Copies of this chain bind each other. A is one copy, B any other.
Amino acid sequence: MTKKKVKSSSYLFPRPVVLIGANVNGNPNFEPLAYISSIEDKPPLILIASWETHFTNIGINENGTFSVNTPSEEIIEGTDYCGIVSGKEVDKSEVFEVFYGDLKTAPMISKAPLNLECKVIKTLVNKDFTGAEKGHELFIGEVVNAYAEDEYLTEGAPDITKINTFTYSMKQYWKVGERVAKAWEIGKKYMKD
């Protein structure tokens, strides 16, 4: 083994890609984001990290709500476009057809196969504990509702093989590949060795 040190970075291969939705001054705005994780099951919580000066943050802080929209390849151009331009300069409310749910202030994308409607239950500001001058804000949202159309579901649950989403890595988008193995199953082979 000849391991060597490479540049310290929070590498993760690959990262999921979602569009975060928030109303800013009552107008829908979206940003693609790959700093996201599920962090709890009961209640279902999702955490996102968004750079402090992003336009979307204004809306999340204003309403205490946001949406998580899983894109399909069909809307990859619109997804990426939202990462190129800022809502400060361009009105992104026309990029996608939008609908609202029970929270009323979290805009969701009709064409995205899966939408999570989230209520912020905790916010952290990274620079408060890193000491850096700037940084990301962490928003922890409770998933109040999830929405999908029948064509993306199997036995009532979203099915990754039907969603045709993509991931992010190395400034590129990547398909989800073939199934490799069952979890909590292939490891049993290790026990027999």
Chain A residues in the interface with B (C-beta under 8 A): 1-16, 18, 34-47, 49, 68, 70, 73, 76-84, 95, 97, 99, 110, 114-116, 121-122, 124, 126, 129-130, 132, 135-136, 138, 140, 143-150, 153, 156-160, 163, 165-191
Contacts and interface: CB of A to CB of B under 8 A. Distances in A.
Nearest to A112: B3
Report copies per complex: 2
A38 B35 contact: yes
A122 B126 CA distance: 10
Contacts of A121: 129-130
A122 B125 CA distance: 12
A187 B70 contact: no
